[in-house]
C-alpha cells in the first residue's frame, strides 16, 4: 500500500515547529556560555528567516487551495503564533548584540531553559496535529500553560532582584527589557497552546 503524502499545511507546520526547537536549543546552549554575541545573533536570524519562508509557503498554499485539512483561519493563526515564538527568540538575541551586553545572567539562562522546554512541547503537539490525534495534544498544551506560569514567576523574581542590586540606570534598562522580552516569548508559546486548544474544540 502506497503511503499517503503528508498534507502540505501539516508538513510545513511541522517544519516550523522543528525549526523553533532547533532555534530554542541553540539559544539555550549559547546563552549559558556566550562567547561570540555577533555570531549568536546572526545564527538566530537564520532560524528566523527560515520560519519566515515557511510562513510564506503557508500563505501561498492557502491562496491556491480550496479544501484545507482544518479551518483556514486556524492554519493561519497557528502559523502566526509559531512565527511569533521564533521572532521573540531572535529579537532577544539581537538585543544582546545591540546593547553590547556581556555575560547573560542566571535569570536569562533560566528563561532560555523554559523556552527550550516550551519549544519541545510545541513540536510534540504539532506532530500530533498532523496525525489528527487531537485529544492527545492536551497533555502538551497543559504543560505549555505551566511553563508560561513559570516564566511569569521568574519575571517577578528577576525584576525585584534587578532593582535591588543594579544601580547603573543604563544597565538596568537593558536587562529589564531583555527579561521582559523573554517573558513575552513564553506568552507566545502559550498562545500556540491556546490556538491548539481552539482547534481541538472545533474538530474533535
Q: How is 122-174 classified by DSSP, letter by letter? A: HHHHHHHHHTT-TGGGHHHHHHHHHHHHHHHHHHHHHHHHHHHH---HHHHHH
pLDDT values of the chain reduced to their tens digit, one per residue, 204 residues: 333 457 899 999 999 999 999 999 999 999 988 889 999 999 999 999 999 999 999 999 999 988 899 999 999 999 999 999 999 999 999 999 999 887 889 999 999 999 999 999 999 999 999 888 999 999 999 999 999 999 999 999 999 999 999 999 999 999 999 999 999 999 999 999 999 999 999 887
CB 203 within 8 A of CB 140: no
Model pTM score: 0.94
Q: What is the dihedral of CA 160, 172, 81, 190, to 10 degrees?
A: -10
Q: 67: which DSSP letter? A: S
Q: Model confidence over 126-169: pLDDT tens digits?
A: 999 988 899 999 999 999 999 999 999 999 999 999 999 999 99
CB 192 within 8 A of CB 123: no
CB 109 within 8 A of CB 20: no
Amino acid at each position: 500500500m502506497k503511503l499517503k503524502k503528508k498534507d502540505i499545511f501539516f508538513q510545513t507546520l511541522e517544519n516550523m515547529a522543528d525549526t523553533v526547537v532547533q532555534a530554542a536549543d541553540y539559544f539555550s546552549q549559547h546563552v549559558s556560555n556566550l562567547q561570540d554575541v555577533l555570531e549568536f545573533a546572526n545564527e538566530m536570524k537564520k532560524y528566523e528567516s527560515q520560519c519566515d519562508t515557511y510562513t510564506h509557503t503557508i500563505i501561498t498554499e492557502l491562496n491556491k487551495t480550496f479544501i484545507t485539512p482544518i479551518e483556514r483561519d486556524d492554519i493561519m493563526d497557528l502559523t502566526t503564533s509559531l512565527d511569533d515564538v521564533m521572532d521573540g527568540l531572535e529579537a532577544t538575541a539581537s538585543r544582546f548584540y545591540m546593547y553590547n551586553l556581556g555575560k547573560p545572567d542566571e535569570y536569562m539562562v533560566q528563561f532560555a531553559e523554559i523556552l527550550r522546554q516550551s519549544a519541545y512541547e510545541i513540536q510534540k503537539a504539532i506532530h500530533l496535529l498532523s496525525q489528527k490525534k487531537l485529544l492527545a495534544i492536551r497533555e502538551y498544551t497543559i504543560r505549555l500553560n505551566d511553563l508560561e506560569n513559570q516564566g511569569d514567576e521568574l519575571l517577578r523574581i528577576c525584576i525585584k532582584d534587578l532593582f535591588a542590586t543594579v544601580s547603573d540606570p543604563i544597565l538596568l534598562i537593558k536587562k529589564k527589557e531583555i527579561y521582559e522580552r523573554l517573558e513575552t516569548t513564553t506568552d507566545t508559546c502559550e498562545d500556540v497552546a491556546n490556538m491548539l486548544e481552539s482547534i481541538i474544540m472545533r474538530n474533535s
